[in-house]
Amino acid sequence: MTGTSLVISESHVTDVGGLAVHRSLPRPGRRMVGAWCFLDRFGPIDVTPERTMTVGPHPHIGLHTVTWLLQGEVLHSDSLGNQQPIRPGQLNLMTAGPGIAHAEDARERSRALDGVQLWVAQPESTRHGPPSFAHHADLPHIDLPHGQATILVGEFAGSRSPAATDSPLVGVDIAGIGALDVPLDPTFEYAVAVLHGSVRIENVHASPNELVYLGTDRQGLALFLEEGSQMLLLGGRPFPEEIVMWWNFVARDRTELARAYQDWTDRTDRFRSVTTSLHRIAAPRPFWLE
Ligand code: MN
């Protein structure tokens, strides 16, 4: 089997803390890739006092945030008390469970900023468990014939990332030039997100901020990377649970979402507080409430 045909989707530009970001997931027609349910690219930008990443305290439920930088430095602060700078080549993995809050602050830390933040939906078996945070400064690298792969999460080409996963999942950063053959798990669905340069996948040419959905049933993938190209390979077992996403929450129904909104708005103990000079972000009122 050669797998399903490729589907290319454009990102859309939205605002996160005053910074324009390109959102590749979720998009109409493509909500998830495995448990991956959100992909924002921020940058590349030259940082100025007026233009940098300053995302004040805000809550999450039911997901992991995965932060991966290409340039610059961002300080993560969360309501568990963690204060962790992240730099290129490192991974921040935050687990929200029933509730966590965090802030992301790049002020006075870098002259240029570029990176991605992804969300991974937690399955029913873990989403009621404790929130946590992990910083992985040393991820496995694999030398490819014409490039290098860094394994952010999951297993790829026989090596495994130390980052915890709650469902069968993989995320790999691939940088290189020329033809690359990458092994895939036929039970996973996959997508390619181009970060820099241009990547040819079969007869499709993909550019930055485009997501190419590959489907399942593939043993491998033939890529051609133009000079200076970098991409993310995202994959996972098709997520078997129906999720509902709204604002910063992943849940199963609107009642859960409305409860999370109310708990954040009422400042209950559920999300606790974050130590930062950035301002707390108020939740918008759910549109389905009276
Ligand atoms: Mn966040």
Compute, in angstroms, the gap from residue 160 CA to the centroid of ligand 1: 26
Average pLDDT (227-240) is 97
Instruction: Encode 253-262: b = buried (16+ Cβ within 10 Å), e = exposed.
Output: eeebbbebbe
Cβ neighbours around 113 below 10 Å, total? 23
Distance 117 CA to ligand 1 centre (A): 9
Residue 123 Cα to ligand 1 midpoint, Å, equals 19
Q: Rounded mean pLDDT of 185-193?
A: 98
Backbone angles phi, psi at 256, to 5 degrees: -65, -40
DSSP for 181-200, please give it: EEE--TTSEEEEEEEES-EE
The pLDDT value recorded for residue 4 is 65
Q: How far is the CA of 102 from the centre of ligand 1 (A)?
A: 6
List helix spans (H) across the chain: 254-265
Mean of the pLDDT values across residues 231-239? 98
Helix and strand totals (H; E) in the chain: 1, 24
Output phi, psi for 70, to 5 deg: -100, -30
Q: How far apart are CA 145 and CA 24, in angstroms?
A: 29
Tell me 77's DSSP state.
E
CA–centroid distance, 161 to ligand 1, in Å, is: 22
Distance 248 CA to ligand 1 centre (A): 7
How far does residue 158's CA lie from ligand 1's centre (Å)? 31
Q: Say how many Å lie between the CA of residue 179 and the centre of ligand 1.
A: 36
pLDDT digits (tens, 9 = 90+) for 45-87: 998 888 888 899 999 999 999 999 999 999 999 999 999 999 9
| Of the candidates 243, 221, 251, the residue with the CA atom closest to the CA atom of residue 97 | 251
Q: Which residue has the higher pLDDT, 2 or 228?
A: 228
**How does pLDDT run across 110-119, given as a tens digit for each residue?**
889 999 999 9
199 touches 192 (CB < 8 A):
yes
26 prior amide bond cis, ω within 30: yes
